Structure 1
């Protein structure tokens, strides 16, 4: 079963079986019945190979990794569990203080979060940054998906006492950027199951990804998936996701990977959205705002000079976060 975690093993196995079936078809071309049987089998396996190739091209990991923070007051650490090894960097005070846990975005890393981290350090926070699997110095994975990263974060949060003295943490905020926000949302759905959940006082979601259905549609266009095969493509992705993430309730339909079903925080939430989001557009932000049934929990801002990527420093974003923290 572990072989299914490798995105190319299942793909190459499917292609290998297809080649065997085609060879046997040619070998038995003088026997119409057997040739017909192997011809049908060859077509079936060819179709399966195509779907497995799409899966392999979808569950990709970043090729070029960003640097991890280190040196000075920043310490690096790892934590083992039944998923990919968890890698984090931390900067802790020696006195009781609030903690912010930052989850960076796709193809980013802890060093890219330094500007945001400094904002919290200036406010007297402890800072903990979890690097996503396959990013920075974190262990790589062949079949990357948000479920793996969410399970890593859940384990890290549930075992905060192994990272730092809980008696020196007064409260916790989660800051997720882009897909980091998507992971934070899924965590929020399960958060009450964890022993430290009472410490959570709020979520900061920056230019959040909130709907995998939008990403899936992008993949269909990028991979030129024929319209009549999109349902089969989704079913195969769903199958692989559910096999890899058996700890989660199985995904049955695409609406379940979008807000609100994917997760909506039950704590005060600040959303700071790029006014000209060159990566996700505004649809993820708009869907998130619409999905909050308890509007009292939500504060949201559209920031014109905030970009989706590369916004290590942004005065407007930072001031909004500071002002929100004073009241939450």
Structure 2
């Protein structure tokens, strides 16, 4: 089996393609007939179609970075019933210890996760880092959704329950960053239900909590003119090829999206250039008494600026 990830042909934005085709025809006719108004109108519609196409593709096909964590981790690959191969990177101690399962963010991979989990490794955790479909070393999807990605991970964990040596696992915790946090919000309880040892705690770092909010955040400025067409194309594509046509736009935001029943620790970058604080603010009204939220003024969503994350995680681990 090849270790190189594959990407199926991406789902097409039907409405945007229709606009591009019709406006291109109108533009040609307008030029040939020297009809200035038709040229201007067709050019405007063509621009809407092109921008809508770009927005659509940006949401359903992540840009892959084929990277991996250090050689301290061993890569394993598992293939779903539908043929999607999901990669994970494992590091096991030679003694019983807590297990950390960690999921990265959008257009990232397990190499970035490794940098986040050093406090857990210092405190003696086994670690399993998962590359979401379409990221790192995992195969892509025709239309990327957090629902189908999470279901692939869930199916993989169902398989791993029979593979891992549970005599060497004393407890289980889950960590999700950004999009990985979004997946964790919906699937933490489902992961926990199939594990011999339930997940004790969920750690969320600068989590995404609403796809509609991200969509609006990414369709400002010039992209605003393609917002409505690309949204219709996304909804239509999800109905045609998505994993659950019963889910609508509103289901992709908390609380409908899902909130774990176990205790949660949230570490949020104050100056979050990717998501802002709005995602945390959407989640906060649903916090339970056993949650703790820390907003770090020096933590960055991306990169190496970790603020006080290291000491915050250590304090939580030692609780």
Task: Compute the TM-score of the two structures, normalised by the length of structure 1.
Answer: 0.77
Inter-CA distance 221–156: structure 2 relative to 1 (3 Å threshold): same
- Identify the structure with bigger relative contact order (alpha carbons < 8 Å, sequence gap 6+): 2
Secondary structure of the corresponding residue to residue 76 of structure 1: strand
1:33 aligned partner = none
SS in 2 for 1:300: strand
CA distance in 2, matches of 1:302, 1:83: 40
RMSD of the TM alignment (CA)? 3.4
Aligned-residue offset at 1:233 = 4.1
C-alpha separation between the residues in 2 aligned to 1:235 and 1:251? 15
Distance 1:17 1:197, change over 3 A: farther
Contact kept in structure 2, 1:61 and 1:141, CA below 8 Å: no
Q: Tell me the alpha carbon deviations over residues 111-138 of structure 1, each in whole angstroms, 9 at most, x when there is no partner.
A: 2222323221111110000012222222
Query: Which structure 2 residues correspond to residues 208-223 of structure 1 after superposition, within 5 A?
Result: 208-221=207-220
Residues 12 and 214 (structure 1), Cα distance of their counterparts in 2 relative to 1, 3 Å cut: closer
Any unmatched runs of 5+ in structure 1? 27-45
Aligned equivalent of 1:62: 63
Residues of 1 paired with 2:119 and 2:260: CA distance?
23
2:78 is aligned to 79
CA distance in 2, matches of 1:56, 1:92: 38
Q: Which residue of 1 aligns with 2:171?
A: 171
* 1:132-182 Cα shifts (integer Å, max 9, x gaps): 222222223443222232122212322223552122212111111111101
Q: What is the count of residue pairs matched by the alignment?
A: 294
The TM-score with structure 2 as length reference comes to 0.79
What is the rounded CA distance, in whole Å, between the counterparts of 1:17 and 1:323 in structure 2? Answer: 55
**Residues 142-181 of structure 1 correspond to what in structure 2 (within 5 A)?**
142-181=142-181
Find the aligned partners of 1:111 and 1:80 in 2 and give their Cα distance. Answer: 21
Q: Does 1:250 align with 2:246?
A: yes
Structure 2 equivalent of residue 241 of structure 1: 238
* 2:268 corresponds to which of 253, 265, 273: 273
Query: 1:279: Cα distance to partner?
Result: 1.4
Pair 1:296-2:292 in alignment: no
| Aligned pairs for 1:180-191 within 5 A | 180-188=180-188, 190-191=190-191
**1:245 to partner: Cα distance:** 3.8
> Which runs of 5 or more residues in structure 2 are unaligned?
1-7, 30-45
Instruction: Give the match for residue 254 of structure 2.
Output: 259
Q: In the alignment, which residue of structure 2 is the partner of 1:130?
A: 130
Rounded to whole Å, the distance in 2 between the matches of 1:249 and 1:265 is 23
> SS of the counterpart of 1:305?
coil
Map Cα deviations across residues 181-231 of structure 1 (whole Å, 9 max, x no partner). Answer: 011112136446x4217420010000111111111113432663449x72x
1:235–1:200: structure 2 CA closer, same or farther, 3 Å change rule? Answer: same
Partner of 1:283: 278
Contact 1:70 1:76 in 2 (8 A): no
